[in-house]
Structure 1
Amino acid sequence: MTMTVRDLRPGVRADFEGFARVRHLALPFYLVTPDSLVYDLAHAHPASHFRPLVAEEDGEIVGTAQVGIVHDSPEPGQGYVNVYVHPERTGRGAGTALVRAAEEHLAGVGATKLFAWVLDEPGNRAFAERHGYRGSRSAHFLRLDLTNGTLPPRPPLPAGVELRTGADFADDPRPVFELDSETMSDEPSDIDYEFTDYEAWLEGTWHHPLFSPELTSIAVADGRPVAFSAARTDGGTRYGTVMTGTARAFRGRGLAKLAKADSLQRAREAGLTEAFTGNDARNGPMIAVNKWFGYEICATEVRYVRELG
C-alpha cells in the first residue's frame, strides 16, 4: 500500500471525478459535481490561496481536502481545512496525510487559526482532537423527500409582496447581491464575513454552475428584493438551498418561509426528488421553518478550531 498526497490537477478530468466521488460518498448531503469543482478551482480568489488536495492509495483517490484562507473576513489569518475520506478507506493514513499537507500550506501563507468541519461521529471527533483541534459550534444537514413527502402548500402572498425568480434579475443581479450580503452578515458563525465584492459574488454565486436562477425565489416589496431562497441543483434530481433570508427591516413577516415554499414547490414540479439544506444548530427560527416543510435532520457536523503557534 502506497499513500501519497498531491494537488488536484487542472485539466485532468479523472481527478475531478475522483474528488467528487469521494466527497459524495463521505458527505452525500452536499451537492458537488466534477464540473462544479473545475469551476471552483478556476475561479478561486487569489487571496484565498485555495488548494484542493487528494490522497491516493495505489493510484486510487481515497481522500480529499479543501484548503484555503478566509479572504472575505475582516480578521486576517483564518484558514480552513475540510478533509473527507472514502468511508471504506478510513484508518489507513489518508486523513492524517491530508491534514499535515493542508496545515503546512496554510501556515506558509500566513494562517494563524484553522477551522474544520467534522461529521459528529466518535471516530471523526477523536481524529480531530488527536490533531490538536477543539470542538466549537455545530450545524445540521437536513433532507426533504420531494417525491413522497408532504410538502405544505405555499402560504398566501401578503399585500404588497410579489414573488419573482432569480432569472428575472438576470440583467441586473446587484439588488440580489445586496440582499444576500445583508443576510449573510447576520448568519451565526465562528467567522465574521464582509460581503462587499460584487464581482467576486458574481463569480462565486451567481455564475456558479450549480446555481439555479430559475428555482431561486425572491420576494419583492417596495420595489426591491426583501427575502429570498437561493437554490442549487446537481443537474440530476438533487436540489439544495444554500441561503434563505430576509432583509432586517422585513423580518418577522414570514417572507423567508414564503420564498422557500415557492422554490420547493417549483423544484418538485420540475422533477427534482431530494431537497437538502443546512442549519446552524443554534438557529432555532430557521430549524423550525425547515421542520414545517418536512425536512428531517440526516447528519450533524461540528466545527473544530486549532490555533497555530
Structure 2
Amino acid sequence: MRIRTARPDDAPAAVALRALVHPYLVRGVESTRRMIAQPPPGEDWTAYVAEVDDTLVGWVSAYRNDRTSQAGVGEVSTLHVHPEHRGRGAGTALLTAALGHLRDVGARRVRTWALPESLPFARRHGFTPSRELRYSALDLRPAPPMPQPPPGVRLLPLTDVDPRRMHLANLAASDEPADVPGDSISYENWRYEVWDNLGLDRAASTAAEIGDEIVAFSLVERDGDRMWSDYTGTVPAYRGRGLARLVKTAALHRAAAGGVRVAYTSNDEANAPMLAVNVRLGYRPVGSSWSCLRELA
C-alpha cells in the first residue's frame, strides 16, 4: 500500500469508490476531476489516495474552511476505504496525511464526518462525535407536481437569476444547525464551489423571488439520473410561509422532467423544519453520519 497526492486521472476510480461506500453522495467524475486539477481558491484544498497494486482503495480530502467566520477551522472530508481493504492501516495513513496538511496550513480545529460504524476509529484518533446527520432519498417516479406559488411569489430557474443575487441569498440563509457555521464565504469562492460547479443543474435549481429579492432557493447537483439537494434555504425574514417546501418541490419537479430518477439530501437531526419538509415530500432515511471535532496540537 502507498499513500500519494491525488491526480486528476484518479477521478473515475475515486467516484466509483465513493459510490460503493457512500451510495447517497452525488458528485460526478468531471466535477471531481476539476476539484483535483483546479482546487477552490484560497482553501489550500488537497486530496490523498491509498493504492494497492495500482488500484485505488482509499480517498481523503482536506482543506481550510472558508465558509465560516470561525478562525482556524480545517475539514477532513469524505475519508473512505474500500471494505475489502479495511483494518490494514489505509484509513490511519490517509488521516495522518490529511491532518499533517491541515497543520501545515495553520488549522487549529478540525471537523470530519464519520459513519456510525466508523465512530470507534474517529474516537481513537482524537475526534469527539457531536452532531448526527440524516441522509434521505426520494424516488422521483412519479415526480411531484409543479407547485403553484402564492400571489407575489415568482419561481425562477437559476438560469434566470444573477449569481450575485444568489450569493447574497445563500449567505443570508446559511444559519442551519452545525458545529461550524457556514456564515461567511466570498463571492469568488462561492462562485467556484456553487455556481460554476460542473454538477450544478441550473435549469432544475429553483429560486423564489418577491419584489426584487431572492427569498428562498433549492440547489440541485446532478450526476446522470441521480441528484443531490445541495442546499435549500429561506432568508430569515421570509420563513414560516412554506417557501422552502415550495422551491424544493419545484426543483424536484424540474429535475425529474430532465431525467432524474432519485433524489438524495442530508439534514442535521436538529433541523426540524427542513426534516419536516422532506418527510412531507416523501423522503425516507437511508443512512447517517456524525460530525466529529478535535483540536490540532
Q: Structure 2-normalised TM-score?
A: 0.95
Kindly report which structure 2 residues correspond to 1:53-92, keeping only aligned pairs within 5 A, or say none. 53-82=48-77, 83-92=79-88
**Which amino acid in the other structure matches residue 130 of structure 1?**
R
Deviation at 1:226, TM superposition (A): 1.0
What CA distance in whole angstroms lies between the structure 2 residues aligned with 1:214 and 1:46?
26
Deviation at 1:89, TM superposition (A): 2.0
**Residue in structure 2 matched with residue 108 of structure 1 by the alignment:** 104
- What is the CA deviation profile of residues 68-120 of structure 1, one whole-angstrom value per residue up to 9, with x for unaligned ones? 11133322221111311112222121101101111111112212111110012
Deviation at 1:155, TM superposition (A): 4.1
What CA distance in whole angstroms lies between the structure 2 residues aligned with 1:195 and 1:308?
22
Kindly report which structure 2 residues correspond to 1:135-154, keeping only aligned pairs within 5 A, or say none. 135-147=129-141, 152-154=144-146
List runs of 5+ in structure 2 lacking aligned partners: none
- What is the CA deviation profile of residues 124-150 of structure 1, one whole-angstrom value per residue up to 9, with x for unaligned ones? 1111111111111111111001125xx
Deviation at 1:193, TM superposition (A): 3.2
**Residue in structure 2 matched with residue 189 of structure 1 by the alignment:** 178
**Structure 2 CA distance for partners of 1:29 and 1:154, relative to 1, 3 Å:** same
Instruction: Give RMSD over aligned pairs.
Output: 1.5
What CA distance in whole angstroms lies between the structure 1 residues aligned with 2:29 and 2:249?
29
2:187 to 198, 204, 216: 198
**Residue in structure 1 matched with residue 166 of structure 2 by the alignment:** 176
Deviation at 1:199, TM superposition (A): 1.9
- 1:276 equivalenced with 2:264 (yes/no): yes
**Residue in structure 2 matched with residue 158 of structure 1 by the alignment:** 150
**Which amino acid in the other structure matches residue 81 of structure 1?**
V
**Which amino acid in the other structure matches residue 158 of structure 2?**
G
Kindly report which structure 2 residues correspond to 1:1-309, keeping only aligned pairs within 5 A, or say none. 3-10=1-8, 13=9, 15-82=10-77, 83-121=79-117, 124-147=118-141, 152-169=144-161, 172-184=162-174, 186-234=175-223, 236-309=224-297
- What is the CA deviation profile of residues 18-47 of structure 1, one whole-angstrom value per residue up to 9, with x for unaligned ones? 111111111111112221112223442343
Deviation at 1:196, TM superposition (A): 4.5
What CA distance in whole angstroms lies between the structure 2 residues aligned with 1:27 and 1:289?
23
Percent identity (aligned): 37
List runs of 5+ in structure 1 lacking aligned partners: none
**Which amino acid in the other structure matches residue 64 of structure 1?**
W
- What is the CA deviation profile of residues 215-252 of structure 1, one whole-angstrom value per residue up to 9, with x for unaligned ones? 01111111221111111111x10011111111111111
**Which amino acid in the other structure matches residue 129 of structure 1?**
R
What CA distance in whole angstroms lies between the structure 2 residues aligned with 1:194 and 1:300?
24
Deviates further, 49-58 or 82-91: 82-91
Structure 1 contact 154–258 (Cα < 8 Å) conserved = no
